Amino acid sequence: MSDPLRTLRPWESPEVTSWGRLPMNALDRRAGALSLDGDWRFQLLPSPDAPVHADWSSQPVPGAWTVQDTDDLPQYTNFAMPWAEFPPASPADNPTGVYEREVDVPAEWAGRRIVLQVGAAGSVLLVHVDGRPVGVSKDSHLAAEFDLSAVVRPGGRAVLRLTVVKWSDASHLEDQDQWWHAGVTRPVLLYATDPLRLADVTVRTGSDGTLRVDCQVRDAAGALPAGWYVTGELDGLLLTQDAEFERFKEEDGRVSDFLGEARLRTVVTGVRPWTAETPVLHPLTVRLHRADGSVADTSHHRVGFREVEIRGRDLLVNGERVYIRGVNRHDFHPLTGRTVSYEDMRADLVTLKRFGFNAIRTAHYPNDPSLLDLADELGFYVVDEADIEAHDHAHEIADDPRYLGAFVDRVSRMVLRDKNHPCVIVWSLGNESDHGANHDAAAGWVRRHDPTRPLQYEGAAKLDWAGATIASDIACPMYAPLEDCVAHALSGRQTKPLIQCEYSHAMGNSNGTLAEHWAAIESTPGLQGGFIWEFWDHGILQRVSDGRPAGRGGAGLYGHGVTAPGHRWAYGGDFGEAVHDGAFVADGVVFPDRTPKPVMFEHREIAAPVRLTFSEGELRVSNHQHFRGLDWLAAEWRLSLADGGTRVAPAELPAVAAGGSAVVPMPFPLPAEGGEAWLTLRVTTAGEEAWAPRGTEVCLPQVRLRAAVPTTPAGLPGPPVEVDEDGLLVHPLLTAAPVLSLWRTPTDNDELGGMAARWRAWGLDAPRREVLDVRRRNAGVTVVSAYATLAGAVRHEQVFTRVEGGIRIEETAELPEGLTDVPRVGSVFETVPGLDLLEWYGQGPWESYPDRSAGAPVDHHALAVDDLFTPYLRPQESGGRHGVRRFTLSAPDATGLAVTLDEPRQVSVTRYRAEDLAAAAHHDELVARPGCVVRLDAAHRGLGTASCGPDTSPRHLVRPGTHRWSWTLRPL
């Protein structure tokens, strides 16, 4: 006898979005449910047409079989589908996982309605019980529910089978920039309800305390029994059914005998509104009663009183224009793929909160429902995005009527699931799927069902940010040049908020000009923020020995962005796949183990709730929040002097409201001597926050009180500085003399933006050096060299002069006009082994670069040399410190060398030469050198985000012409 689900062949029929699947709702049935998570029998078939055999293995649920030691390994593509078939076709080789287990149905569920919930499975799910077909579901990122009442017996045992087909017509709608996985990736549970039940609950609130709760009621028998009613309770306040609403429904004649509706309505006085800064939640319990007053069903919710609206070109929360300091987030874990625990999700959001983020775009599908619970609790604005991305075939699918039902289904089910979460302030129709009738149909459904939130879709607004469209209330471009955004806001044509859905690409050493973006946003009405791409580096922990994912219980995660020995972070191509997009999946603000990248400190300072300004002797503290005062914060002052002196004192933050400022007294008298002086306010949490314990650092705003006074070390008579026959400095602490450097190991931005290819074509990676002249004088030596490039020779002059205690090196590099844009101009040298500690005065302690340095305060810093390096997944230029005035490199016995620079410069100290980094695809391939490779740059090119987005700004390019710098080298 044929299986009707296989006869239906849903994996090749876009018109079939479900069969037997229950409608989506906003009810949380997790309490009291029977968890079916754990080990299931499992077999992986080559296609959905292959017969199930007797050879079973075991796999944990939830989980993706692609990271569970099967032969079907992960594959990463950005937008190209991993197979050549056009929509709606899928490949004949189609891995199909069959999961099976026995389920003991509780005897006490007799007479109740029994429902199976599969949290997520992709891309097609087929459900059988005891061999009987139950239903089909598509959409890899939303739960599917099935009524099992007719196929299971309370007190009995049933065999539950979940068949998951990896590829289908639906895969063309899930062509997102992430790893391709397959399996049952979210929890599975079984629950029971009374036959008379709540079918759905819709909660709507206002910041003034207004509350409306709309309830839908159904009965398993079909016709509703007479006399049922609904009550509610909010913080002890009893809510009763709205009689006026019931009379309206009766007079209107639309009350059905199988679907009942009831409304609870009240105004809560003295309510504290919900915002991302003040995420106040109120417990709401809704009860469905039988005619005799007994409770048939209960639903629990957490209510946040808030409203969202667009007024003119501003997005308002509770009437206030808010900045969207957002990040895009996938459900991801380096060991389990798309399966993420509650604890992991909480850790994600805690990390984001501590670094100043207040918004999340669920890229590019509805995230695990627990994430929204946590966003409600911890305080995040959420753009909830439907599971629609047809990137490779966007134009064809957007208007394809065969996919119309899938578009509306995916958008509507997301809205039905998530509509009661106060954190959700915007609905998104998906990502990078062109714009067609299917989008407009889905938009129309949302506008009718939920008029309380705006709608956005980048594809509908990308050609005309001011144009009217049913599909987007927000101009939400991706990677728009900053100057274009500012020009639009100043043009007089702007009609809607401009909030970029993606605006700074965090691939490798990146996110240059982030501070420039926010300076423009905060000073230009009409610009309101955006979402960085993205939160995670999607590196999968991989065993180097056999190339497979390490899996849970493998090597573990070391922290600091590195892996255990014998393992590495895998990216596209590392699992032997022929079609892939390489390291483009490693584009997050945290490493795969959730270690923050240096850009996180940049963002934290840009988003700081407290700012400092100092002008004409006046010190001012400002509150840059939207709703909250400063009473939740504590602080201390730190005065840092160039001569090494520091002073610390408690700070009393002024009582200023959000958006306000106050002049505060100077905490210290400024010493008459001491040169450069900086004042830092270290701001911490004053008490326990949901996302941080007391004393957690929040920001480090800083102002300069006094500038440096330039000094020039005096030359001394005596023997000349020693150079060899090639004009290279001879020094007992150096194993390689300082030479001109015009090259950096290309960053991902350099490679994908095309700059690295141009630099290689010029020969900057290995220019041939020719000594033109060596002139010896009493106190020193002048060496003139030429470095050959295909764009012309670079003339380089070094003047070595003996000074008190050391050598002064004055350098000049003349770049020809053909070198229109180079990565750096500076010096590089190598030290003897054993110098393992770097101490410096300048910006730090974390990595910083010319266009990403706002988050690195000037102070006295110290780090082990091995900790200076930043292990971006693909080795590249990293570990630099901007604005360094002087530094020492020392051994444990305090011997070593000291360098003083003529002005603040870009400095890096690593164990690797540029060619070492360029030759390695992963960090397990790197071999550290015993000494230090030191680079001192007169000019260093900005990082930009050109791997996907704008390059650095023109002022951070290194241009042709004459570059001068000088530095002094002394032994300690």
432 given a catalytic annotation: yes
Report the distance separating Cα 300 and Cα 286, nearest Å.
6
Q: State the helix-helix crossing angle for 598-606 and 514-523, rounded to 10 degrees.
A: 20
Known catalytic membership, residue 502: yes
| Angstrom distance (rounded) from CA 718 to CA 780 | 9
What residues form DSSP beta bridges with 795? 786, 814
Closest CA to 559 of 336, 785, 351, 776: 351
User: Distance of alpha carbon 382 from its chain centroid, rounded?
Assistant: 13
Is the four-CA dihedral 910, 915, 920, 922 of positive or negative sign?
A: positive
Assigned token pair, 217: 């009621």
Question: How many CA atoms does the CB half-sphere of 20 hold within 13 Å?
Answer: 23
Q: How many CB atoms lie within 10 A of CB 446?
A: 23
- Beta bridge mates, 427: 384, 455
| Dist CA 662 CA 642 (whole Å) | 28
Q: For residues 679 and 639, is the Cβ–Cβ distance under 8 A? A: yes
For the chain, the farthest-separated pair of C-alpha atoms sits apart, in whole angstroms, at 110
Report the C-alpha gap between 40 and 65 in whole angstroms. Answer: 12
Instruction: Report phi then psi at 918, rounded to 5.
Output: -65, -25
**Close Cβ partners of 731 (under 8 Å, ≥ 6 residues apart):** 722, 737, 807, 969
Q: What is the dihedral sign for C-alpha 894, 898, 903, 906?
A: negative
Using H for helix, E for strand and C for coil, what is the string for 696-763? CEEECCEEEEECCCCCCCCECCCCCCCECCCCCECCCCEEEEEEEECCCCCCHHHHHCCHHHHHHHHC
Adjacent-strand bridge partners of 636: 650, 682
Burial level of 679, CB count in 10 A (0-12/13-18/19+)? buried
Scan for tokens 């041939």, then name that residue. 768
Interstrand relation of 324-328 and 359-361 (parallel, antiparallel or unpaired):
parallel
Cis status, amide bond into 654, omega within 30 of 0: no
The encoded tokens of residue 437 equal 């009738």
- CA 3 distance to own-chain centroid: 43
Q: Are strands 132-138 and 178-180 parallel, antiparallel or unpaired?
A: unpaired
Which tokens in the block code for residue 376? 């409600």
634 token code pair: 């504590």
Nearest CA-CA partner of 410 in 426, 387, 444:
387
Q: Is residue 751 within 8 Å of residue 581, measured between CB atoms?
A: no
Q: What are residue 647's DSSP bridge partners?
A: 639
Q: Is the peptide bond before 14 cis (omega within 30 degrees of 0)?
A: no
Are 108 and 421 spatial neighbours (Cβ–Cβ below 8 Å)? no
Active-site residue identified among 12, 385, 389, 432: 432
The residues pairing with 338 across neighbouring beta strands, listed in sequence order, are none
Closest alpha carbon to 182 in 137, 93, 120, 92: 120
Contact of 386 with 363, CB cutoff 8 Å: no
For residue 260, the cross-strand partners are 217
Q: Of the residues 502, 534, 602, 847, which is catalytic?
A: 502
CA distance linking residue 149 with residue 89, whole number of Å: 35
- Considering only CA atoms, which of 82, 922, 947, 80 is closest in space to residue 541? 922
| Residue pair 145/417 in contact by the 8 Å Cβ criterion | no
Q: Which residues are catalytic?
A: 432, 502
